[in-house]
Amino acid sequence: MAIALRFAATPPRLAAPIPPTSAPRAHGGVARVGAQGGTRRGRRLAMAAADSARCQAKREGDGDGVLAGVAVHGGTRVEGEDQLSVVMKFGGSSVSSAARMKEVAGLIQAFPEERPVVVLSAMGKTTNLLLLAGEKAVGCGVTRVSEIEEWNMLRDLHIKTVDELGLPRSVLHAKLDELEQLLKGVAMMKELTLRSTDYLVSFGECMSTRVFAAYLNQIGVKARQCDAFDIGFITTDDFGNAEILEATYPAVAKRLHGDWIRDPVIPIVTGFLGKGWKSGAVTTLGRGGSDLTATTIGVEGC
């Protein structure tokens, strides 16, 4: 299912003010960069549009396929070659296998006139597998981490995907090793805190974006992998359900625009993730977090 939203010249009446520390949440898809120039008014418009999209998606059902999502267009800025033009967000089922990743790559190539930012979720059910692996690690003992079924399932899924895409396994070696060490640490401490849980589930998006960026480069589409927590997504320290802070908007816009000017390649950004402004630790944005990542980039403009 595809939904298109266009901002009106006159903003809709909002039932209640939106706190400046809140960012718009939307239902997947494509967001036009620069809607309303990144002002608070524009962010409120995006929130209203996103809410409308979610309601429509709920009524009609969400297939979450490669073509599912929202197209958010609008804004008064004149786009130029020196700025990114569109945000494309793809959910877990859209990147659940090598075949689906190839479809997504084909969609990106089908719009050569665009200069996209691509936001990805974790592959398929990876987030659930990570959570289950973490829970089992608490009670299994360090020496038995390698026997955790969910850990083996998600590792095999990612290695299989890399192999089928014709990529070197080294694309994932560092992240898989880091993840295994984290699970062993959880097993040693016999505890999985909210902070550790956010760090644990972040591996899903961190791995899917690395694989996809590597594949795009292999087929001749220049791309750069970007972790959201390293490009300016600053949040509260509410692990598991963090809120994006106002400082995120200019920081992300400046970083993405600066990177594009220096080296105009497609940014492949992790959805769902941020960095706590006090702790500096990885945070997650809760349900619909990847949609929030995409809409935040689209509203602020690059």
Decide which of 7 and 232 is more confident: 232
Please tell me the predicted confidence (pLDDT) of residue 15: 24
Question: b/e for 16-26, b at 16 or more Cβ within 10 A?
Answer: eebeeebbbbb
The DSSP symbol for 107 reads H
Nearest in space to 88 (alpha carbons), one of 75, 105, 100 = 105
- 126/151 Cα distance (integer angstroms): 10
Please tell me the predicted confidence (pLDDT) of residue 83: 82
- The predicted-structure confidence for 120-143, as pLDDT tens digits, reads as follows 999 999 999 999 999 999 999 999
Work out the average pLDDT over 92-112: 96
pLDDT band at residue 22 under the 50/70/90 scheme: very low
Per-residue CA distances from 21 to 14, 35, 45, 159, 301 (Å): 17, 18, 15, 39, 17
Q: Percent of the chain scored above 70 by pLDDT?
A: 72
- Give the right CATH number for 2-123+203-300 from 1.20.950, 1.10.10, 3.40.1160, 3.10.50: 3.40.1160
**Is the confidence at residue 21, as pLDDT, over 50?**
no
Decide which of 32 and 174 is more confident: 174
Work out the average pLDDT over 172-184: 98
User: What six digits make up the tokens of 42?
Assistant: 């524009």
- The predicted-structure confidence for 42-99, as pLDDT tens digits, reads as follows 444 444 444 444 444 444 444 343 333 333 333 334 456 678 889 999 999 999 999 9
- 79/65 Cα distance (integer angstroms): 29
